Structure 1
Amino acid sequence: MKLKLIALAACLFTGLSTFAQNRGNEAGFQSDNDSFLGQGSDRYYTNGFFIYYRHALDVNKANSNLANKVLGFEIGQKIYNAQSGYLPSIEYLDRPFAGYLYIGSSLNLLYKNESNLKLSAKIGIVGPAAGGYPIQKFIHNTFGFYHLNSWQYQIRNDAELNLSAEYNKLLGRSAWADISLTSYANLGNGFTGAGVGPMLRLGNFNQLFQSVSTQSTASKNSNANLLHQHELFFYYKPQINVVAYDATVQGSLFKDHPEAGTQEVTGDIKPVMFSNQLGASYAGGRFIFDLSAIFNTKDVKQMVHSHQWGSLTVLYRFN
């Protein structure tokens, strides 16, 4: 009897170990808010919420260069206001009010040479139908924040179709630090632009084909060849961004502004914007956490201040 119990326990342990190593799915959320930095501000990109689901695909063994392949789905909302949601007059409106709501899908191709190409497509809407005002009003009413008074000036409704590509490549690595190239390009009637910069990681990190850094922790491959069974590292990601169009600032690409019969107020983009992101990431047996702070220079010519916000991501991996 004792031998049977030992054998059963061994089988269960083996099954759990296998389950723990084969994590082909992950789901979770990301929350962005400028209040996370504790500065008491409520301006510009003031709130964002995103839900993610990612599924690892089988890698064709005939393609010896591919290490991992991840299919992703997401839904998200971003909310923008001026230097405050309560303005004494329209003269203080230094950044257009706008909501952006979208759904999207992505395919992340990750290679053994630690480069990856992530292709994405999103459809969404900018304007009142995106729900920016009711969500911000609900948050302010729930937590006893100040009264909002300027959403009547928000960007009008406009449907958006946007395509994007992200490319990363390892440049060099030591035992506890590495540096890689990061880049992206956006094309669409909502957002068009590109950015490039380095990313420095310090700590216990894995290769870019199965790491928090490239949204590739979902995988059907064994963990045997990873640098670490768990990731825990700090990172710094400076970037230069070129902006050609932003519908949350300029409104519809195909309509006159302001639209007749509305109080819509648009703005003028700054074509070059610099960003700095500082953060920490952890990937354990099941849970993944990422906490970061983002500091951007002004991206609208009328803006009085630069802007910054905090971001929290929580994911759970499963089969």
Structure 2
Amino acid sequence: MRKLFLITVVLILTCTGFAQSRKNEVGIQADNDSFLGQGSDRYYTNGIFIYYRHALKVSEGGTKLKNKVLGFEAGQKIFNPQSGSIPSVDYLDRPFAGYLYIGSTLNFLYSNESNLKFGAQIGVVGPGAGGKEIQEDIHKWFGFYPPTGWEHQVHDGAELNLSAEYNKLLTRGNGIDLTFNSYGNLGNGFTGAGAGLMLRAGNFNQLFNSVSTQSTASNIDSKSALHQHEFFAYYKPALNYVAYDATIQGSLFNAHNNPQEVTLDREPFIFSNQIGGAYTANHWVFDVSVIFHSKDVKQMVQLHQWGSVTVLYRF
């Protein structure tokens, strides 16, 4: 009995230690315009992403760097025109395209509640991304109409894309805070930059250990957080400059001499709004939001919007 008691105590202490630090997290994110219940199937119509993040050790003697998170991810995005089934090429107001990639990120989070996040992705835009096949399968599973028009999709191109992100807390008080957000992309698939703000209201933690900066994987004892469980709403408006987008313009270095391939020119400036809510409970992290975008392409007959759901498990 004594040995059993000691083993039980050790296990409880071990599990408690893991619960406090939660150095790892794994999860999934799903994006889809059908989440909004409007019956739409246009533009950025589906995205699926898998994440794994691990909090790296931070020097105890350091006073500036508070958290450091290494991440790995894989994902796919699918784009189609105003409908996934077009009667003719005249209705193609945004190209059919798929983007499939794997990538890694390194997130440096500082005690002054700023962070620098660097990322790299390798992938493919075009038939090799499997957008056509996945959309056909999804429509078949749920009894939707059969997609048509994918013979006009953007053709294959290998992609290498780099990214950097910077966020900084501006002010906080009475359950509300305001953060400056910015990012830059550079690559033969996606090049551009953007800046905006994030307004949070509710029970949120510091930006070095929060859903808002993808830093819920942490070596920080949860007892030092502002709240044991985050539960807040947020609003993120942003202005984005698009220098190049391979899902619209096709591969940067490939010749576009196939008569069936349809590419268009991008709109250089896009305004976006994201409204959502986040909740963390022990091992679980939830983030649900709605994103509204202005037109990616001048020919688009409507604006577009979609829903996003993220679920992570920390351990």
TM-score (norm 1): 0.96
Map 1:290-309 to 2 at 5 A: 290-309=287-306
Task: Determine if contact 1:22/1:219 at 8 Å carries over to the other structure.
Answer: yes
Task: Describe the superposition over 1:50-99 as per-residue Cα deviations: whole angstroms up to 9, x where unpaired.
Answer: 00000000002343200000000000000000000111111010000000
Aligned residue in 2 for 1:116: 115
Aligned residue for 2:223, secondary structure, equals coil
Aligned residue in 2 for 1:222: 221
Task: From 253, 269, 272, give the equivalent of 1:272.
Answer: 269
One-letter amino acid matched to 1:176? G
Aligned residue in 1 for 2:286: 289
How far is 1:246 from its partner? 0.1
2:162 pairs with 1:163? yes
Aligned residue in 2 for 1:84: 83
How far is 1:175 from its partner? 3.1
Aligned residue in 2 for 1:194: 193
Deviates more, 1:99-108 or 1:12-21: 12-21
Aligned residue in 2 for 1:37: 36
In structure 2, C-alpha distance between the alignment counterparts of 1:159 and 1:255, rounded to whole Å: 9
How far is 1:243 from its partner? 0.5
TM-score (norm 2): 0.97
Aligned residues: 315
Task: Determine if contact 1:27/1:316 at 8 Å carries over to the other structure.
Answer: yes
Aligned residue for 1:96, secondary structure, equals coil
Superposed CA RMSD: 1.4
Task: Describe the superposition over 1:1-37 as per-residue Cα deviations: whole angstroms up to 9, x where unpaired.
Answer: 6x88776655443333222102110001000000000
In structure 2, C-alpha distance between the alignment counterparts of 1:30 and 1:144, rounded to whole Å: 23
In structure 2, C-alpha distance between the alignment counterparts of 1:147 and 1:7, rounded to whole Å: 62
Task: Determine if contact 1:268/1:302 at 8 Å carries over to the other structure.
Answer: no
Task: Determine if contact 1:289/1:312 at 8 Å carries over to the other structure.
Answer: yes
Task: Describe the superposition over 1:137-161 as per-residue Cα deviations: whole angstroms up to 9, x where unpaired.
Answer: 0000111101111000000000000
One-letter amino acid matched to 1:313? T
2:179 pairs with 1:180? yes
In structure 2, C-alpha distance between the alignment counterparts of 1:165 and 1:67, rounded to whole Å: 19
Aligned residue for 1:224, secondary structure, equals helix
2:99 pairs with 1:100? yes
**Structure 2 unpaired stretches of 5+:** none
Aligned residue in 1 for 2:129: 130
One-letter amino acid matched to 2:283? R
**Structure 1 unpaired stretches of 5+:** none
Task: Determine if contact 1:26/1:317 at 8 Å carries over to the other structure.
Answer: yes
How far is 1:119 from its partner? 0.1
One-letter amino acid matched to 1:295? F
Change (3 A) 1:15 1:306: same
